[in-house]
Structure 1
Amino acid sequence: MGEAMVRVLAPGMFSTVQDLGRAGWFHAGVGVSGAVDRGALGLANRLVGNAESAAGIECVLGRLRLEATRSAVVAVTGAPAPITVDGRVEGLASVLFLEAGQRLELGVAATGLRCYVAVRGGIDVPPVLGSRSRDTLAGLGPEPLRAGDELPIGPAPRTWPTLELAPLAALTDDPLPVRVRLGPRADWFHNPTDLFTGHWRVATDSDRIGLRLDRPDDAPPLRRSVSGELPTEGMPLGAIQIPPSGQPVVFLADHPITGGYPVVGTVVDADIDALGQARPGRVIRFRPWLP
């Protein structure tokens, strides 16, 4: 019997291998990266009996097609793309059993942005600095998937899935409330609370590095009260950086670890995954975090 593999027949719009990231390398100038929607990847892994940190596939919108070279147990979570196995319709967040030669196909998700595919045993590509994640900013980790790629699968864990289907709240394109702690550079703006006035929209040039946000013309701008330059400082996940354009960038998984533009606030960690599913045009409403 040959080594267990998943063969990529079509990679969709943009698919990468992701785990929960490479923590502990900030001192060397390397960010964490990892899945943008960490909860969705963790759920997919739990469904197939993996540790939540096992590497899976992150796919933008869908249109991913895979073929199992040997029997495999898989699960798909995240954005609700239509799922079929050899043409048979399957459910989101369910445990799927593939025989050798069977094909898993994702259609296009009507809502949300990122789908996650976990395989029992995990995607076993060589780790880089302790992680199998692709960091699109630093160029670390495995290359984005291409048709014809064969991804090795690691040894199956001892534990078996205990659920056939996980109940999930439906993803929608409704306005998304996002909680924010103001600071550390809120004092660089005349009215930092203007961040909470009205709404913002996700711009088309958003990616794994960050969400770029646009605003209606009649909304109050975020005007700086300090005109000087800010020394380069650390940038956390969820930082809302304000470049000279005044249009915020919310940093996601592949964000730079330092920056020189002021951060007016930081999104609370519990709301980061939801931002990872916000597609261009989605309305974002920032709200002050109340501990």
Structure 2
Amino acid sequence: MTARVEVLAPGPYATVQDLGRPGYAHLGVPRSGAADPPSLRLANRLVGNAETAAGIELTLGGAALRFTAGAWVAVTGAPCPVEAAGRAAGTDAPLWVPPGGVLRVGVPRRGLRTYVAVRDGIGVERMLGSRSTDSLSGIGPPPLRAGTTLPVGAGAVAAAILADFAAPPPLPRRPVVRVLPGPRDDWFVPEALTALCAAAYEVTADSNRVGARLRGAPLERARAGELASEGMPLGAVQVPPGGQPIVFLADHPPTGGYPVVGVVAAADLPLVAQARPGDLLRFRLVRRASHDRASHDRATARHREAADLPGGGRQEA
């Protein structure tokens, strides 16, 4: 019998996610995928899956999952209480759930999204090359609800189960994310980017997988009118007429008609995805040269670290 995951309780919002379906923006299909990809990748590595395997993305926890067969699982992302078959368990490490056992994931202490990976991956049908739920277009499996049953086993096993050498850093209480000038920053007064970075913005309750809606100092336009609809990158900071910015996340539309004042650095987008309503978020302006320099310095540090390991290479799960 095929191993399955039975959803007893999905929490406020839960979906199946992998790393998304790139390459279809010209058809109006967002990339979608995990809102916090590094957390999903880590969860998959911890249970020996390929990083591309599908897992479960929980929003504000509150989930209960029953496993019909014994399974290795890992819980990553927003830290929260975890219980496996009635016993307290940890996050960011592989854990065993016996046949018929229930994995319970509580409400995160900080952050918004938690990921559950299962050895062999969640084996729902692929659509356009991905198993991800897209909340904007409706492509992929529907959001999970009590009574949903998910098959396990998608041929995604990559390695033996090994823990990462170091746990991921804790989520900051007040994240600061880097932002590069956007393609339409000339639609704003010269001080707009300075104003964006001068004070914190509050994440509002209207935020979702499409974008994080922010409340704070309005960004003043230098031009009236609206743009023709144009392509929107992941991390675009789009500004509607009211002046309150929106940071586009995983399910953002491929095009939009409001000007983009800046674009959040890709490496910092998981911090935005983990910001919950009421959290404060700050921006730090970087120019392209300094951003490229920082990326180069991080790559150089990784290469030096690899050279210091026995055998001259970094060993990862």
Q: Indicate the TM-score class for this superposition, using the shorter chain for normalisation.
A: over 0.9
Structure 1 counterpart of 2:94, one-letter code? V
- Distance, in Å, in 2 between the alignment partners of 1:285 and 1:152 is 41
- Distance, in Å, in 2 between the alignment partners of 1:48 and 1:238 is 29
Matched with 2:237 is: 240
**Distance 1:210-1:286 versus aligned 2 partners, 3 A rule:** same
Matched with 1:171 is: 171
Contact 2:85-2:97 within 8 A present in 1 as well? no
- Distance, in Å, in 2 between the alignment partners of 1:84 and 1:166 is 22
1:18 Cα offset (Å): 0.3
Structure 2 counterpart of 1:255, one-letter code? H
**Alignment counterpart, residue 263 of structure 1, candidates 247, 260, 264:** 260
Q: Is there any run of 5+ residues in structure 1 with no aligned partner, and where?
A: none
SS of match in other structure, 2:177: strand
Contact 2:4-2:150 within 8 A present in 1 as well? yes
Runs of 4+ in 1 over 6 A off after TM superposition: none
Q: Is there any run of 5+ residues in structure 2 with no aligned partner, and where?
A: 292-317
Structure 1 counterpart of 2:192, one-letter code? P
Give CA-to-partner distance per residue, 1:113-155, whole Å, 9 cap, x none.
0000000110000011000000001011000111111110114
**Distance 1:104-1:261 versus aligned 2 partners, 3 A rule:** same
Contact 1:94-1:165 within 8 A present in 2 as well? no
Q: Would you say 1:91 and 2:51 are equivalent positions?
A: no
Matched with 1:7 is: 6
- Distance, in Å, in 1 between the alignment partners of 2:141 and 2:166 is 29
Q: Would you say 1:112 and 2:111 are equivalent positions?
A: yes
1:231 Cα offset (Å): 1.2
1:171 Cα offset (Å): 2.2
- Distance, in Å, in 1 between the alignment partners of 2:38 and 2:113 is 12
- Distance, in Å, in 1 between the alignment partners of 2:98 and 2:200 is 48
Give CA-to-partner distance per residue, 1:138-194, whole Å, 9 cap, x none.
01100011111111011462521122885122224x221010001201110112221
Matched with 1:201 is: 202
Structure 2 counterpart of 1:36, one-letter code? A
Contact 1:95-1:164 within 8 A present in 2 as well? no
Structure 1 counterpart of 2:207, one-letter code? S
TM-score (normalised: structure 1): 0.95
- Distance, in Å, in 2 between the alignment partners of 1:86 and 1:32 is 35
Structure 1 counterpart of 2:237, one-letter code? I
**Distance 1:164-1:98 versus aligned 2 partners, 3 A rule:** farther
Matched with 1:157 is: 157
Q: Would you say 1:70 and 2:69 are equivalent positions?
A: yes
**Distance 1:123-1:202 versus aligned 2 partners, 3 A rule:** same
Q: % of aligned pairs identical?
A: 54
1:86 Cα offset (Å): 1.7
